[in-house]
Copies of this chain bind each other. A is one copy, B any other.
Amino acid sequence: MLELRSLPTDCAARRSDSVCATCGARAFSVCSSLGVDDLAGLDAIAERVSLKSGEALIRQGESAVHLFNITSGSVRVYKLLPDGRRQITGFLFAGDFVGLATGQDYAFSAEAIEDATLCRFRKADYRALIRERPALETALLERATHELAAAQNQMLLLGRKTAQERIASFLLDLPERDPIRPTEAGHIRVPMTRAEMADYLGLTIETVSRGLTKLKTAGVIRLLSLNEMLVDRPERLRAIAEGEA
């Protein structure tokens, strides 16, 4: 199911968010995403993985042997209850890591929500590498604490915000997480479906749809297509997200 190729060695040289000529990946590479200059060691232990929309890279309960860094595309991370209820705990984009958590088995699943490319590492290899490169570990710790802060925000959203507030918050957060910046300001790329938004926001599809319609009717946003929105009144959106309306 996973299409594998070896990682071109000069990928370590990529620092910008432009296209990499060798491996064709858009956006950030592992190296640039960590802000570390010389990570030649990473190439040696990395495999390149291509996923089509919907394909899984991590399955809850399986042995946690790999660790991934997203090169392009988007990924959903989620947990399931026995009866099938799903909570998406995060959307990940180019530059993000998946599977860092220690532990015998994966405690979550991860799937591409659009075609994606990734770098794959064996955890054992990666741990060995880290021992020689403290800068790598520092960068990872910084990332982990950022993710923890984001997780706390999401808990506030899920525990205490109304449906309308959750939707507004989501529209504000999404563009600053996604490294693919659209040309126009206020333009939001929405690579996920309504069902995925709902499972991320702790709502149903219908409530998400109604909430977006309400924002549209209020003149706060425009729905350019199912996957593209335009924020006409960002200050209004911000006020709604914080419950000040």
Chain A residues proximal to chain B, CB less than 8 Å: 77, 79, 81-83, 85-87, 89, 100-103, 107-108, 130-131, 134, 137-138, 140-142, 144-149, 151-156, 158-161, 199-202, 242-244
Contacts and interface: CB of A to CB of B under 8 A. Distances in A.
A176 to B, nearest CB: 15
Instruction: Count identical subunits in the complex.
Output: 2
Given A101-B149, A145-B144, A148-B144, A156 B89 contact: yes
B154 A155 contact: yes
A151 B149 contact: no
Given A141-B144, A148-B144, A155-B89, A243 B107 contact: no
Nearest to A198: B159
Contact of A155 (B138, B140, B151): B151
A87 B156 contact: yes
Given A137-B138, A151-B151, 16 more contacts: A81-B160, A81-B161, A81-B242, A81-B243, A82-B244, A83-B243, A85-B243, A87-B156, A89-B155, A100-B145, A101-B146, A134-B137, A141-B144, A144-B148, A151-B152, A159-B200
Contact of A149 (B107, B142, B153): B107
Contacts of A79: 152-153, 155-156
